[in-house]
Amino acid sequence: MNSSAVSLDLLGWQRRNSGDLQLPAGQVISRVVVEHRGAYELLGPHGWCEAVLDSVARERADEPTDYPAVGDWVVHTVEPIDNRRVAIVEVLPRHSMVTRRASGAAPLPQVVGANIDTLAIVTSPDQDLDEHLIERYLVTAIGGGASAVLVINKTDLGDGDAIRGRLTSRGVEQQILMVSAKTGDGMSALANLLAGGATVAFTGASGVGKSTLVNRLVGDSVLATGAVDDEGAGRHTTVRRELLVAGGGVLIDTPGLRELQLWNGKGLDQVFSDVVRFAVRCKFADCSHRDEPDCGVVGARVRGDLDPDRLASYLELCHELSELEEEIDEYQRTRRRRRDARRS
């Protein structure tokens, strides 16, 4: 064991809600805190360690989503297998998996974070508000089984109310928090998201203040609760950039993304529940809300009940998802053909 040992509960284990596991001797559970290409950094009751996926687990992994990701709970060997790194033998089932389309030509998923309870989508008044990007983030979070909140940071610098007004009048229904990482205004509502060992991941454009918010939450919680617990170990261990333990929960700071391509559309109906409500009135059940007669959605737009830009955003995402489905079909057909050719 090394000095950075952190209990599973401090890492948010109780949120899994799935009972105890019987592990063979020599194996333990940790959480993935950093992901490198093909290697991982783990943190748990046995301390910090570097890890690789065991060859059997690698053999079993068919899909990119079968590999460990930041936030995962993994079973691994206590002893290193190559003098340095331990072997991950199993990725435990996830209660959420926030996934986007990986960059590159092939239609493949990339797990942004596993077992995230809340995705905090951060904006700030000193940057242009990109509603389309926010809606993409919302669909991504909710489609992955996480909840989402919008955080308007830097309210000391500019008019946060104006941003909130734009989002709500557009039809965005998710909770909006107004904060200033600089002055501390509104930070307690943000800190509340961490209650009960919750994992909160911060996302949003570069420069909106994600890292400052995370640092402030870590700093405040250290001040509020004392940096040292009864056993003398740091309770609020700062562990690299990606995953930090603080304030009774777990924070994940992500690098800013300027674009985000969807991997699944499961969250679409919930994020665009306004559009879905109008769609009930469409004449055709498979209406595309573009040029069909008696379309409830276009009707709402014409009456001024539905923001045209919001509708455009919805239609763009629908289009992207149907193209993605075709690409996936084609990709899988090609893969099957290649496999069959190898076998014959």
Ligand X SMILES: Nc1nc2c(ncn2[C@@H]2O[C@H](COP(=O)(O)OP(=O)(O)O)[C@@H](O)[C@H]2O)c(=O)[nH]1
**Cβ of residue 153: shortest distance to Mg ion, in angstroms?**
12
Helix axes 308-343, 296-303, angle to 10 degrees: 150
Residue number with CB closer to ligand X (90 or 253) = 253
Alpha carbon 269 to chain centroid, angstroms: 18
The DSSP secondary structure of 38-91, one letter per residue, reads TEEEEEETTEEEEEEE-HHHHHH--SGGGS--TT-EEEEESS-SSSS-EEEEEE
* CA-wise closest residue to 178 among 270, 167, 170, 169: 167
Number of residues that bind ligand X (CB under 6 A): 15
Position of minimal CB gap to Mg ion: 211
**Cβ of residue 24: shortest distance to ligand X, in angstroms?**
41
Alpha-carbon torsion (211, 193, 170, 178), positive or negative: negative
Is residue 147 within a helix (H) or strand (E), and if so which, with residue range?
strand 147-152
Whole-angstrom distance, CA of residue 343 vs CA of residue 101:
30
Partner whose footprint covers residue 209, from Mg ion, ligand X, none (CB < 5 to 8 Å by kind)? ligand X
Residue number with CB closer to ligand X (185 or 327) = 185
* Among positions 50, 130, 156, 269, the unique one binding ligand X when judged by CB under 6 A: 156
**The tokens of 306 are what?**
């539905």
Q: Does residue 210 belong to the site contacting ligand X (CB under 6 A)?
A: yes
Partner whose footprint covers residue 156, from Mg ion, ligand X, none (CB < 5 to 8 Å by kind)? ligand X
C-alpha distance from residue 169 to each of 150, 164, 268, 331 (Å):
15, 8, 19, 40
Q: Does residue 215 belong to the site contacting Mg ion (CB under 5 A)?
A: no
Binding mask 159-188 for ligand X (x = CB under 6 A): ---------------------xxx------
Distance between start and end Cα atoms, the chain: 51
Residue number with CB closer to ligand X (162 or 302) = 162
Residue number with CB closer to ligand X (132 or 182) = 182
Q: Does residue 334 belong to the site contacting ligand X (CB under 6 A)?
A: no
Whole-angstrom distance, CA of residue 143 vs CA of residue 260:
14
Q: Does residue 211 belong to the site contacting Mg ion (CB under 5 A)?
A: yes
- DSSP code at position 14: G
Neighbouring CB atoms inside 10 A of 139's CB total 27
* Among positions 31, 136, 154, 235, the unique one binding ligand X when judged by CB under 6 A: 154
Q: Does residue 208 belong to the site contacting ligand X (CB under 6 A)?
A: yes
**Cβ of residue 277: shortest distance to ligand X, in angstroms?**
34
Q: Does residue 254 belong to the site contacting ligand X (CB under 6 A)?
A: no
In three-state form (DSSP H/G/I as H, E/B as E, the rest C), the secondary structure along 161-210 is HHHHHHHHHHCCCCEEEECCCCCCCCHHHHHHCCHHHCEEEEEECCCCCH
Q: Does residue 157 belong to the site contacting ligand X (CB under 6 A)?
A: yes
**Cβ of residue 211: shortest distance to Mg ion, in angstroms?**
3
Residue number with CB closer to Mg ion (192 or 211) = 211
Residue number with CB closer to ligand X (202 or 272) = 202
* Among positions 96, 153, 203, 221, the unique one binding ligand X when judged by CB under 6 A: 153
The residues near 48 (Cβ < 8 Å, ≥ 6 apart) are: 2, 4, 33, 41, 42, 239
Show contacts with ligand X in window 92-151 (CB under 6 A).
none
What amino acid occupies position 330?
E
> Which stretch, 27-35, 73-81, 153-161, 261-269, contacts ligand X (CB under 6 A)?
153-161
Partner whose footprint covers residue 153, from ligand X, Mg ion, none (CB < 5 to 8 Å by kind)? ligand X
- The contact set with Mg ion (CB under 5 A) reads 210-211
- The contact set with ligand X (CB under 6 A) reads 153-154, 156-157, 180-182, 206-212, 256
